[in-house]
Chain A
Amino acid sequence: MDDKLVIKGIEFRSRLWVGTGKYKDFEETRKAVEASGTDVVTVAVRRVNITDRKSENLLDYIDPKKYRILPNTAGCYTVEDALRYSRLAREAGISDLVKLEVIGDEKTLFPDTCGLLKATGILAKEGFIVLPYTNDDPVMARRLVDAGAAAVMPLAAPIGSGLGIRNPYNIKIILEQAKVPVIVDAGVGTASDVAIAMELGCDGVLLNTAIAGAKDPVSMAEAMKYGVLAGRLAYKAGRIARKLHAAASSPIEGML
C-alpha cells in the first residue's frame, strides 16, 4: 500500500498524529501512542524541573528513535514567544519541524492568524518546516502556504472541545486549493470524526484530548487508528453521490 504522507521530503508512515498531553502517567502515554500506530507525536517545550532531578522524562517512554518528535509552541500568544519556543525546540530536538501555534484567545484557543502568518514567514526563512495550527479559513490557509508553510493544520473545532468537524465545507475548500498537505488539528472527539476528516480528503489528523480524555485511552487510540484508515480508504474508493430517493439494490427482473 503505497499511500504515504510526505511533507517536504519527509515520509510519514501514519496519517494519524497524536499529542502526549493530559495522560494519567507516562506509561499510559506510551501505551496509547503505541496503540494509535502513529509515528509522529507532538510535545511542548517547558522549563526543566531543576529541583527534582529524579522525575522522569517523557522521552524515556517515547523513544525519539522510534517516533518523530513534533514540538509545538502551545501557550504562545505573541509572535516573539512563538519564535523563541520554536528556536528552543529546534536546539533541544533533532529536526526543523515545528507545530506552530500563536494563540489569540484564552477561552477558545483560536489562533491569532495575523501573528501566525508573520511567525510562519520568519521561521520558514530560518529553515524550519513550519506546520501552522490555523482556523478553518481557506484564505488564511493560502496565505500561510504563500508564506512558506509546509502543511496547513486547520482546526476541526476548538482545541480539546471534541465537537468534531464543524465546517466540513471550509475544510473542503481548503483541500481544493491546497498545494501542501492538509492535516486537521484539534477538536475531534471520536473515531467517526477522524473518519469524516479523512473522507473529505484530508492528508492526516492530529489529535490529543480525544484519546487522552477517553475513559479508556488505549482502546480509543486504536479506534482512532482504524478511523483514519477507514476514512482514507473510503476517500480513495470514492463514495456514492447522495440521493434524495431510494435506488433498489435487488433487481425487479425475476420477481414473481
Chain B
Amino acid sequence: MKLKLNGDTAEFQDGLTVAGLLENLKIEPGRVAVEVNMEIVKKQDYQKVVVKQGDSIEIVNFVGGG
C-alpha cells in the first residue's frame, strides 16, 4: 500500500498497525506523536490502529527550539 508519510509517498506492506509502522521505521514510540489523517493516535492505541492505502501519516518529535 502507498502511504503519505511526513509529506512523501512511501510503500509499505498491507495491514500494518501504527506500532508496526514505527517498528518498520525503527522509530522509538516513546518520544514521538503520530497523526493519521489529521487525527492524533494515542500511544495506547498504536497496536490497534491499522493504517490503510492512501492514509496521510505524520510522525513528529521534539527538536531544538526557542
Number of A residues contacting the other chain (C-beta, 8 Å)?
37
Known: A50-B6, A57-B31. A92 touches B62 (CB 8 A): yes
Known: A48-B27, A91-B43. A43 touches B60 (CB 8 A): no
Instruction: Select A88's contact among B6, B26, B40, beta carbons within 8 Å.
Output: B40
A209 adjacent to chain B (CB < 8 Å)? yes
Report yes or no: B33 in contact with A47, Cβ–Cβ below 8 A. Answer: no
Report yes or no: A92 in contact with B64, Cβ–Cβ below 8 A. Answer: no
- Complex Cα–Cα for A50 and B61 (A): 11
B59 adjacent to chain A (CB < 8 Å)? yes
Which chain B residue lies CB-closest to A64? B31
Report yes or no: A88 in contact with B66, Cβ–Cβ below 8 A. Answer: no
Report yes or no: B40 in contact with A87, Cβ–Cβ below 8 A. Answer: yes
Interface size class of B (residues with CB under 8 A): 20 to 34
Which chain B residue lies CB-closest to A208? B66
Which chain B residue lies CB-closest to A74? B65
Q: How far is the CB of B3 from chain A (nearest CB, A)?
A: 11
List residues of chain B with CB within 8 A of the CB of A13: none
**Of residues 15 to 63 in B, which have CB atoms within 8 Å of A's CB atoms?**
25-27, 31-35, 38, 40, 42-43, 58-63
List residues of chain B with CB within 8 A of the CB of A88: 33, 35, 40, 58, 60
Q: How far is the CB of B40 from chain A (nearest CB, A)?
A: 5
Report yes or no: B64 in contact with A23, Cβ–Cβ below 8 A. Answer: yes
Known: A53-B25, A88-B40, A91-B40. A44 touches B8 (CB 8 A): no
Known: A47-B58, A48-B6. A22 touches B63 (CB 8 A): no
Instruction: Select A72's contact among B7, B35, B38, B65, beta carbons within 8 Å.
Output: B65
Q: How far is the CB of A126 from chain B (nearest CB, A)?
A: 12
Report yes or no: B65 in contact with A43, Cβ–Cβ below 8 A. Answer: yes
A229 adjacent to chain B (CB < 8 Å)? no
23 contacts between A and B (CB under 8 A): A19-B66, A21-B65, A22-B66, A26-B64, A43-B63, A44-B64, A44-B65, A44-B66, A45-B33, A45-B63, A46-B61, A47-B58, A47-B59, A48-B32, A48-B59, A50-B10, A50-B25, A50-B59, A58-B62, A88-B60, A92-B33, A208-B66, A209-B66
Given A43-B64, A47-B60, 7 extra CB contacts under 8 A: A20-B65, A44-B65, A45-B62, A45-B63, A46-B60, A59-B62, A93-B62
